[in-house]
Amino acid sequence: MSRVFRALSDPTRRQILKLLNEKDMNAGEIAAHFNMSRPAITKHRDILRNAELVSSEKKGQYVIYSINLTVLQETLNNFISFFGKE
């Protein structure tokens, strides 16, 4: 749970999730949306992958990333059920 919230605490990472929520993308497509270097984006993606919020699949030269909405949903549900009907 800490890792998920940690991953969500950065605007770049939330934006990556937003992009992947629209469609799967390869690393280059994701990076094209930001002003940061590719390695920086790689690291952000690693943090998201570590939190299991995204998954990746190698396709030839490319690596395609997808959002994992299930983990997001479960984490938020678990957290929220701490607090009454909140």
Partner DNA sequence: AATATATTTAACTAATTAGTTAAATATATT
Task: Indicate the length of the chain as a whole number.
Answer: 86
By C-beta, is 62 or 84 nearer to DNA? 62
Dihedral angle over CA of 55, 59, 61, 62, nearest 10: -40
The residues binding a copy of itself (CB under 8 A) are 1-3, 5-6, 8-11, 14, 17-18, 21, 69, 72-73, 76, 79-80, 82-84, 86
Q: Answer yes or no whether residue 23 interacts with DNA by CB under 7 A.
A: no
Q: Answer yes or no whether residue 47 interacts with DNA by CB under 7 A.
A: yes
Binding mask 49-78 for DNA (x = CB under 7 A): -------x-x-xxxx---------------
**52/72 Cα distance (integer angstroms):** 9
66 - beta bridge partners? Answer: 55
Angle formed by the axes of helices 38-50 and 11-22, nearest 10°? 80
By C-beta, is 36 or 81 nearer to DNA? 36
